[in-house]
Structure 1
Amino acid sequence: MDAKLSELLNHQINEELYSAYLYLTFADYYEDRGLKGFANWYMVQVQEEVAHAKILRRYLLDNDVSVKMTAIAEPDKTFSTDLEPLEAGLAHEKHITACIDRCYAAANDVHDFRAMQMLDWFVKEQGEEETNASDMIKNMKLFGSDPKGLYDLDREYQTRVFVAPTMPM
């Protein structure tokens, strides 16, 4: 595998694990606020991000590339409103999309079609992640200022469960 591409994929593992770490802080914020549904939504998100890291790890190992685990940065976000974690989540998902795009571009540059096929799944996944994050912001803006609306949103987010991702390979 091309050295630049393997470096980017190794870095992406760290990005995914940082995402999990960041989303744990979001879950903690909502837990402290008594919004267990929002906390649940982000705990499921934590599981998804770890699963993404594991997919990338497996891909590297299956291609005889050493995995390099690096330190995960400490999240530095603090929040004063229930909307702020959601907005930070969308901004972060856009950052992750840009990271995936860099990996894809590197794979394309060296005609690594297997890597591109694997990354196609991540490209689609990031579209879903950004839509979900955007929808949560819209819902909070529409319903979150009303106690009953916030309660209903929280109840809705309590129903989310983790489903392990499956990738066509």
Structure 2
Amino acid sequence: MLKKKLQKALNDQINAEMYSSYLYLSMESYFQSISLGGFANWMRGQVQEELMHGMKFYDFVVERGGRVTLDAIAKPEAEWKSPLDAFEAILKHEQHVTSLVNDLVNLAISEKDHATNIFLQWFVSEQVEEEATVGGIVDRLRLIKDNPSGLFMLDAELSKRVFDPAGE
């Protein structure tokens, strides 16, 4: 059975994951509006991935005999100055999510909840991957600067992303 403090923190994380999905959906719309379908496709994969993360937390709370309580999801930003600006915002957001996951791990340890700690280790690894992937795209966008050819090449590459829930 989950302790109340941990149950609340996990419920907060469900909301954070759903917000992440909502943010990436907003970014998908932004990229569609500037005719970068590959970037939009990459964002759609993120939308699906974050929804899946939220459901992993949801299922875990239920499995541990806890109660899921859903809060309102904050309105995400809708405009960015450039693809680089959007991806820098993503990197900052993923770093924030990493800090939330780390706080959950620390709470699970302090509550001596080993099952939750073990469950969270997957998310610790996932956040390392998320930050590395987004950081790599940010680096490439910085190299591209205002070169349309480079932007379209990256767009073509990002269009190849296929979300695989089994690979998560």
TM-score range, shorter chain: over 0.9
Q: Which residue of 1 aligns with 2:20?
A: 19
* Distance across 2 between alignment mates of 1:8 and 1:45: 23
In the alignment, the residues of structure 1 paired with residue 66 and residue 122 of structure 2 have an alpha-carbon distance, to the nearest angstrom, of 20
Matches of 1:99 and 1:128 in 2, distance apart? Answer: 16
- Which residue number corresponds to residue 149 of structure 1? 150
**What is the rounded CA distance, in whole Å, between the counterparts of 1:166 and 1:16 in structure 2?**
18
Equivalent residue, structure 2, for 1:132: 133
Change beyond 3 A, Cα 1:35–1:19: same
Amino acid at match of 1:114: A
The answer on whether the counterparts of 1:21 and 1:75 sit within 8 Å (CA) in structure 2 is: yes
CA RMSD of aligned residues (A): 1.2
Q: Deviations over 1:58-94 (max 9, x none)?
A: 0000011010011000013521222111000000001
Alignment of 1:152-163 (within 5 A): 152-163=153-164
Aligned counterpart, 1:116: 117
Distance 1:60 1:165, change over 3 A: farther
Secondary structure of the residue aligned to 2:51 is helix
Q: Which amino acid aligns with 1:65?
A: G
Q: Distance in 2 between matches of 1:17 and 1:144?
A: 32
Matched with 1:38 is 39
> Shift of the alpha carbon at 1:106?
0.6
Amino acid at match of 1:152: M
- Deviation at 1:161? 0.7
Instruction: Provide the secondary structure at the position in 2 that maps to 1:159.
Output: coil
TM-score (norm 2): 0.95
Worse overlay, 114-123 or 73-82? 73-82
**How far does the alpha carbon of each residue in 1:138-166 deviate from its partner, in whole angstroms, 9 at most, with x for none?**
11111252121111100000000111156
SS of equivalent to 2:131? helix
- Percent of residue pairs bearing the same amino acid type: 37
- What letter matches 2:80 in structure 1? F
**Matched letter for residue 40 of structure 2:** A
Structure 2 unmatched ranges of 5 or more: none
Distance (whole Å) between structure 1 residues aligned to residue 115 and residue 145 of structure 2: 44
Runs of 4+ aligned structure 1 residues displaced above 6 Å come to none
TM normalised by structure 1 equals 0.95
> What runs of 5+ residues in structure 1 fail to find an aligned partner?
none
